[in-house]
């Protein structure tokens, strides 16, 4: 069932009441992950410095987090800074780190009030001490919040996460805590830093690039992918809704024959 745009507006403005969930919000993804790309191109189009694009991107983050929370999506993961992004010019990296601190400062109250748990995955050791401190503080402030988990992938590399899991597992084998025969997909995934998150149902990448850029390599095995040319600073609530509606049209087979999928006509 679809409802009219005006009906959608009216309903989404009423927060925190599942009885007022907009009609189009059936079969929503449990976990949405987003590769937020295109800030630089957004700025270049306007002859502005890249950091202005990142600032506009932070405003999109606010919009999308609010929408996800209102639509009762339990897990939202945002790829904010890759391990490879450390090779960008110092000035851009510093600007991004400052923006991140600013974002946490500005949003912490909203996160606490709306029951959003904040968490970060990635190699924190490379982050400046002040950013590490701010992240730890925000994680502490929002601990136990259970309406939505907002995860930022920061200084993150999918391959590095897998290598780290393998290393930790090898150490447990060496200590006699784990026998190699017991290693299965389930056991392996427990060693991943993201083990507490369900795999994403929907991955969105903005800016027209059609690649994963070392994001969730393990976790995306059966994720539905949605690529849009829209640049991240232009990606608003309506774009997000379109991505979710596209997801709702997908037939997820997980390798099965269509006829064997529960709830679908043969």
The b-or-e profile of 147-177 (16+ CB within 10 A means b, else e) is ebbbbbbbbbbbebbeeebeeebeeeeeeee
16's tokens: 């925190």
Q: Which CB sits closer to ligand IPE, 41 or 147?
A: 41
- Binding positions for ligand IPE, 75-104, rule CB under 6 A: 79-82, 85, 96
Phi, psi of 34 (to 5 degrees): -130, 130
Residue 235: φ, ψ to 5°: -85, 105
194 binds, among ligand IPE, Mg ion, none (CB under 5 to 8 A by kind): none
Under the binding rule (CB under 6 A), the answer on residue 39 touching ligand IPE is yes
Residue 207 found at the interface with ligand IPE (CB under 6 A): yes
Euclidean distance between CA atoms 152 and 196, whole angstroms = 14
Least Å distance, CB 82 to ligand IPE, is: 4
- State the minimum distance, in angstroms, from the CB of residue 37 to Mg ion: 4
**Catalytic residue flag (residue 39):** no
Specify whether 98 is catalytic.
no
> What's CA 206's distance to the chain center, in Å?
13
Question: According to the binding rule CB under 5 A, does residue 215 interact with Mg ion?
Answer: no
Distance (Å, whole) CA 46 – CA 53: 9
Q: Does 57 bind Mg ion (CB under 5 A)?
A: no
Q: Interface mask (CB under 5 A) for Mg ion, residues 13-42, using x and -?
A: ------------------------x-----
CB of 166 to ligand IPE, least distance (A): 23
Look up residue 241 and give its two tokens: 């809704």
Give the binding site for Mg ion (CB under 5 A). 37
């Amino acid at each position: 069932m679809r409802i009219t745009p005006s009906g959608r507006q009216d309903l989404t403005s009423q927060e925190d009441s599942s009885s007022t969930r907009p009609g189009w919000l059936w079969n929503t993804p449990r976990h949405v992950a987003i590769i937020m790309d295109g800030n630089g191109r957004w700025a270049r189009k306007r002859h502005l410095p890249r950091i202005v694009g990142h600032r506009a991107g932070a405003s999109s983050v606010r919009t999308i987090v609010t929408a996800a929370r209102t639509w009762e999506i339990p897990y939202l993961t945002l790829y904010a800074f890759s391990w490879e992004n450390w090779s960008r010019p110092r000035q851009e990296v510093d600007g991004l780190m400052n923006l991140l601190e600013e974002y946490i400062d500005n949003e912490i109250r909203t996160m606490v009030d709306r029951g959003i748990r904040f968490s970060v995955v990635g190699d924190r050791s490379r982050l400046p001490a002040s950013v590490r401190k701010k992240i730890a503080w925000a994680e502490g402030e929002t601990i136990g919040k259970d309406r939505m988990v907002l995860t930022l992938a920061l200084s993150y590399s999918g391959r590095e996460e897998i290598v780290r899991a393998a290393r930790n597992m090898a150490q447990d084998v060496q200590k006699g805590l784990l026998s190699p025969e017991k290693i299965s997909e389930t056991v392996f995934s427990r060693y991943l830093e993201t083990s507490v998150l369900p795999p994403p149902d929907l991955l969105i990448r903005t800016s027209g690039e059609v690649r994963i850029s070392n994001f969730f390599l393990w976790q995306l095995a059966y994720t539905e992918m949605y690529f849009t040319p829209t640049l991240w600073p232009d990606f608003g609530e309506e774009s997000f809704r379109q991505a979710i509606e596209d997801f709702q049209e997908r037939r997820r087979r997980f390798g099965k024959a269509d006829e064997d999928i529960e709830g679908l006509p043969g």
